Structure 1
């Protein structure tokens, strides 16, 4: 069985990652009616026996007990990660997967890449190694980050270089969220340019996503779902634009945009997720 590890860096990366895990569970629950831990789930989740052996993994084919995402969550502000730990997904993650600070990177690529990248290097590498050790056959890393913020662009690309250094044979697929032309962060062009150079050096594949395009797509889908186009089959509570009916409670302002990116990742991994169903 092959596995993948998702690395979420920065506020945007963790928000998109939260939507990814939510939609992945909903997608698999839709087709896995027997509630079994199969090869498809093992691609992104471990099935844990918490009450017997805390860090043991249940083999495929058995009843689901406790799913643990194969993920590492990094942010130099703890707000978004704390929201995840207080939300419906809180019981899925453990402390060994999380790394946070309180001050943030001040929308400065250099602070994220150099200051925090150096200060937290060993801790980041340790968490990446532990995530990799839980995999029978590690296929790739999925890195999710933004290009405009200091942590996402700076520390995100530093994590990318560490992945190449520690796991040179493992594919690195990066989903990068680019700021729009109307972005109100004055340093976002600076951050994006410096981050792009790191992507060209260390990423095997980059999936670029632009913020304004996400806004346009969401507006168009919502217009179609309200009957703006004859014959439209998009429902108002579609997982493409809505978090309603899933693990998320009240839909948040950016859920619709983040769901577009989460669906992008789910679509490119659909063969992996559904191959045993």
Structure 2
């Protein structure tokens, strides 16, 4: 029966009892579908191959149920039919398999694919840009069409590859964009600006930057960085007139009109 199913999945699917009878241990109602799926797709016919598959399925499912259990290895994922897991992404894959309780090959393959898209882009931003769906599959919340470009820009420029780092970035992008749209929302902190890649903001200029982010509805790193640079030129010159004098553009950038 098992060999017939491995050759042709229109044949009756093996039961847990069938596997037990041929000497494969550890197949039960919880993992039978996954085992059968891989016996079919990988055309596995020997006890040794099916036992190795079953062991890896059980390692993954046990880890999902209890992350104090042995973490799956690259080999475990390969044996259950998942492509693209390696030493570079194993930690992220395991983290999300655990936190999202992923137990099927399809779900873990989708996760792995999205991890690889994001990590490839972080290493080389000429690669395919991650989509909002890639981030959702990875476990990052709060990304949509309105902030995807900014998130991708910083994932590329800061080489961010972990869920934790990208989530912090996304949260800060959203704080800034929400405040730019509606100043009754929480004001961005200096940390929020640093997280999205804007440099030069501190306690001395935060209020001015926030004021212009709000009044000019600035949402991009490039626009906010230009604003910050001009705020700092003006504040430095006020403190020490041997510093570079502000230009007409500096005043315009900070919202002052009529300087020419």
Confirm or deny a common fold (TM above 0.5).
no
Larger radius of gyration: 2
The TM-score, its normalising length taken from structure 2, stands at 0.19
The TM-score, its normalising length taken from structure 1, stands at 0.18
Q: Give the structure with the higher percent strand.
A: 1
